[in-house]
Amino acid sequence: MLMDYKGSVTVKIDGIAASAASVIAMAGSKVLMSPVSMLMIHNPMTAAFGNSAEMQKAIDMLGSVKDSILNAYEIKTGMSRTKLSHLMDAETWMDANKAMELGFADEIMKRSVEDIETPAVSMMYSKAAVVNSLMDKIAAKCKIEKPDEPVQPPEPETTGRKVDDLYDRLNLMKF
């Protein structure tokens, strides 16, 4: 959230504002959403354990929390509590256009090309770049000669052992 000198709060949603984040977003005097962002509202939830009295406390608490959430949504959107309650019951997902239409957002953020900084390091995956990089590394390890230079075959190593002796040793390891 951004706060200007007048004390107003601008909320910018550039991803997903779901569940409690949607309630927090309602605190903004101005709510801006990215064209690719989403806002989701639903009923409050909890986990409870215990006897019927404990369960009733949990039910009452959820009712109070829902009323509080409805207050935030109602103040921001101007919609009726009944309509908002139905949207919460249905676990409603909204894109930026729908959120604006229903009053959850005030404006859709726009970017001009001049505002976009070119990153110093590209984070996009490119199969061709990966293959080329791998081929360069393999070539460096193998020290591949240039095509116009003749490639000399390596001299065979001699260990002074006979092939038959090596086969005999291998046969000892067989079961």
Q: What is the pLDDT of residues 32-73, one digit of tens each?
A: 999 999 999 999 999 999 999 999 999 999 999 999 999 999
Give the pLDDT of residue 1.
55
Cα-to-chain-centroid distance, residue 69? 26
Q: In the structure encoding, which two tokens stand for residue 75, read together?
A: 């103040």
Going edge to edge, which strands form the sheet with 9-13?
2-3, 9-13, 30-33, 107-108
The helix/strand/coil state of 141 is helix
Domain count, the chain: 1
Residues forming beta bridges with residue 40, ordered by sequence position: 18, 93
Q: Is 123 part of a structural domain of the chain?
A: no
Higher-pLDDT residue of 123, 148: 148
Domain with 31, as residue range(s), is 2-111
CATH of the domain at 12: 3.90.226.10
Q: Is 96 part of a structural domain of the chain?
A: yes
Buried b (16+ CB within 10 A) or exposed e, 42-79: bebeeeeeeeeeeeeeeeeeeeeebeebbebbbebbeb
Q: Which of 45, 1, 37 is nearest to 20 (CA)?
A: 45
Q: Is 104 part of a structural domain of the chain?
A: yes
Q: Are 12 and 2 in contact (CB under 8 A)?
A: yes
The yes-or-no verdict on residue 150 having pLDDT over 80 is no
- 0.75 cut: is pTM over it? no
